[in-house]
Amino acid sequence: MPAWTKITLSKDDIMLCWNFSNEIIRGENQYDRMMKSGLSLNDRLSYRVKRTFVGKIGEMAFYRFLEQNGIHPGNLDEMFAIFKGQTNVDPFDFQTADGESVDVKTAVFANHKKLVIPIDQFRHIPKDYYVGIKLDLPISVRDYDNSFTPECIKGVYICGFASHEQMRQCYTTNLGEFDCKAKPLTDLRDIRELVALF
C-alpha cells in the first residue's frame, strides 16, 4: 500500500468550503441524491450541507496537494461556481495535461474505508480517474449530527487513485444508501503516478 499524504487545510480554506456548501444547498442549487429518510426539513438541509462540504473539502485538499507538487490546477474560483437549479450537477473536475478528467471522492467517518462512486454518476458522468480522500476526524464523530462541524477536521489524507477501468471491474454494491462502485482505500494506486500526468 502506498503511503498516504496528509494535507492540513487553512481555516480560510475550510470556511470557503463550508460557506459554498451552505449557499448551494440552502439556495436549492444542487441535485438531491440523499436517500436518508425520517429527517425534518431542517435536519435534511443540514445533512445535505455537510455531505456537500466534505466533498468540497476533498477537492480543496487535492487542489492544495497539486500546488504543493508544483502544479497549478486552475482557477480556484471555478471550483466554487454555483449554477442555478437543482438539475445541475457540480461541473468542476480536475484535468490532466492531456485533458483527462479527475474526480475526487471523500471518505468521512472511521467506518468509511472505500473509494465510493454512486452508480448513476459512474454510468452517466464517467471520469477517467478517481482520487480517494480520507478525512482525519475525532473518533467520536460518527455521523452528520451536531458533533460534525468544520472545526472537527484535523487533516485530510490523499490516499491514492483508480482509473475508470479499475473501478468498472469492481462489483456494483450497495453500502446503505445507493448502488455504487467501491474500492478499498488501501488498494488504490500511488497518487504520484497520477500527479505525473498533470
- Inform me whether the pLDDT recorded for 107 exceeds 60: yes
Q: Which residue has the higher pLDDT, 175 or 14?
A: 14
DSSP letters along 82-98, please? Answer: --SSTT------EE-TT
- Inform me whether the pLDDT recorded for 168 exceeds 50: yes
- Average pLDDT on 152-178 reads 93
State the pLDDT at residue 38.
Answer: 62
Domain housing 145? 5-83+92-195
- The closest alpha carbon to 189, from 168, 160, 167, belongs to 160
Q: Which long-range contacts (CB under 8 A, 24 or more apart) does 32-37 make?
A: 32/86, 33/118, 33/120, 33/178, 34/177, 35/177, 35/178, 36/177
Total count of domains within the chain = 1
- The closest alpha carbon to 145, from 55, 56, 46, belongs to 46
Output the pTM of the full model: 0.87
pLDDT tens across 38-68, in order? 656 566 677 788 888 999 999 999 999 999 9
